[in-house]
Amino acid sequence: MKIEVTFTGDSITPQMVTNHAVVVIDVLRATSTMVTALANGAQEIIPCLTPEEAFQILGCAGEKPCLLGGERKAKIIPGFHLGNSPFDYPPEKVAGKIIIMTTTNGTKAFLNAAGAKLLLVGSLLNSGAVARELTQQTDDVILACAGTGGKFSYDDILAAGCIVHKVSRGNPEILISDSALMTRHIYEKHQHHLAEGLFQTYHGKRLLALGLKEDIEFCTREDFYPIVPVWQKGVIKIMDTTKGLMIY
């Protein structure tokens, strides 16, 4: 197995992900929020590209228990039920619900990587569970950082490095690309003070200016959830890691 890291959602192409296991990472905050929603009992997440598409899916859902979730410019979209903060998705709101989600960066990365052989949701919150699943794979791995506005984002790099660190530890046969090696070094520099590291970043400062310090602190909790969400046929659900299947 070889591990590569890409740094923006726009850099992901169908040709790149064919026959690869791909992990999409958007720490602040899309994948952190997806992991939290599913851990808190959401039935599934349907990522979509635009708010208009989300409203259209909701309109076709009939009696299904759906909620609209997401953001533009880090703020809740008008007419949506939920924003893009993990704190918007407690069990009492999302248990048993279908979340139709669109975000500025994260959901686009999923749609770009939809042709992957295996497509997982990664964050610091579930980095250990994702790393354990990847060690069971024989296909090459791409850790696909969503980035911010078409540019690389330090928070995603930290999470990618965290996963590389955990996958490669004790597994010398795994090949680490230069991009993956760089992210691992960055993570290892900050691993004992992740939140403080993110407070200094461009994306972190934007969220701090919006009063979202607690979001950053929460999103840097390593191994908070033991779940591995997986994308199949346009829907994200929790994987049964004993069988490699979705839990329905």
Does 248 score more than 70 pLDDT? Answer: no
Q: How large is the average pLDDT for residues 182-202?
A: 96
Distance CA 156, CA 160 (A): 6
Q: How large is the average pLDDT for residues 54-60?
A: 97
Q: Give the whole-number percent of the chain exceeding pLDDT 90.
A: 95
User: The whole model's pTM is what?
Assistant: 0.95
Q: How large is the average pLDDT for residues 197-206?
A: 94
The CATH code of domain 2-228 reads 3.90.1560.10
Distance CA 19, CA 139 (A): 7
Which residues is 175 bridged to in the sheet? 2
pLDDT the model gives residue 245: 56
Q: Where are the domains of the chain?
A: 2-228
What is the tens place of the pLDDT at every residue in 132-191?
A: 999 999 999 999 999 998 999 999 999 999 999 999 998 899 999 999 999 999 999 999
Token pair of 196 as six digits: 């403080």
pLDDT the model gives residue 241: 73
Does 7 score more than 50 pLDDT? Answer: yes
Does 242 score more than 80 pLDDT? Answer: no
pLDDT band per the 50, 70, 90 thresholds, residue 89? very high
Query: Would you say 22 and 142 are in contact if contact means Cβ atoms under 8 Å apart?
Result: yes
What would the 3-class secondary structure string for the chain be?
Answer: CEEEEECCHHHCCHHHHCCCEEEEECCCCHHHHHHHHHHCCCCEEEECCCHHHHHHHHHCCCCCCEEEEEEECCEECCCCCECCCHHHCCHHHHCCCEEEEECCCHHHHHHHCCCCCEEEEECCCCHHHHHHHHCCCCCCEEEEECCECCECCHHHHHHHHHHHHHHHCCCCCCEECHHHHHHHHHHHHHCCCHHHHHHCCHHHHHHHHCCCHHHHHHHCCCCCCCCCEEEECCEEEEEECCCCEECC
pLDDT band per the 50, 70, 90 thresholds, residue 243? low
